[in-house]
Amino acid sequence: MKKMLLVLIGICLFSCGASKTVRDSKKVIKGNWTLSSIDYSKTGTYNVTLLNDASRECFEGSTWQFIPNNNTGNYNISKPSCNSGDRYFVFTIDEVDETTGLYDFLIKPTNEKGKSETNQGFRMKLTLLTETNMQWQQTVRVDGASFIINMNFTKL
């Protein structure tokens, strides 16, 4: 009976944890990154505010740190014409489809102590993650049509 109980507890713990793919992704994302470029699925001039924080121009060149053991991080905007400084967030990586390897990447802005003032988060697709590059895609609606924002990162 004790062996059966231990086996059931082991199965529950194993099945409740993150998949190996997500665990591996957290190992890769750990560290410092630069948001090197942001592009859009449609040509034109757009006034986009990313993460309800700043413009594309301010975000490009920002530095990001991901700390996966507690799912926190921060980014720093340092351009003189922007509201510069550190911003904090919590994040999760949720596996969407194991066959495609695509994930949902959820990011929620917080204060320095990890508390969210608005309880608002942002869902993006983590479409690329290698040892040196990462890409997020956020789909929004513009004039009733889908519009994709690509955020391209390079590992430092």
**pTM across the whole model:** 0.81
Mean pLDDT of 57-62: 97
Q: What is the CATH number of the domain that holds 133?
A: 2.40.128.280
DSSP letter at 154 equals E
> Residue type at 59?
F
Domain of 27, in residue numbers:
19-155
Residue 4's pLDDT band, with cuts at 50, 70 and 90, is very low
d(CA 85, CA 92): 23
Q: Is 12 part of any domain?
A: no
Structural domain total, the chain: 1
Residue 28's pLDDT band, with cuts at 50, 70 and 90, is confident
CA 78 to chain centre: 20
Q: What is the DSSP string of 62-121?
A: -EEEEETTTTEEEEEE--TTS--EEEEEEEEEEEEETTTTEEEEEEEEE-TTS--SS---
Q: Is 80 part of any domain?
A: yes
Pairing between β-strand 63-67 and β-strand 54-55 as defined by DSSP bridges = unpaired
3-class DSSP assignment, residue 155: strand
> Is pLDDT of 12 > 90?
no
Q: Is 7 part of any domain?
A: no
Give the pLDDT of residue 44: 83
Look at 45 and 136; give whichever has higher pLDDT: 136
Mean pLDDT of 69-93: 95
Backbone angles phi, psi at 53, to 5 degrees: -125, -60
Helix or strand run (H / E) with residue 125: strand 122-129
Q: Is 5 part of any domain?
A: no
Tens-place pLDDT, residues 90-145:
999 887 666 656 688 899 999 999 999 888 999 999 888 899 999 999 988 888 88
Give the pLDDT of residue 94: 83
d(CA 14, CA 8): 10
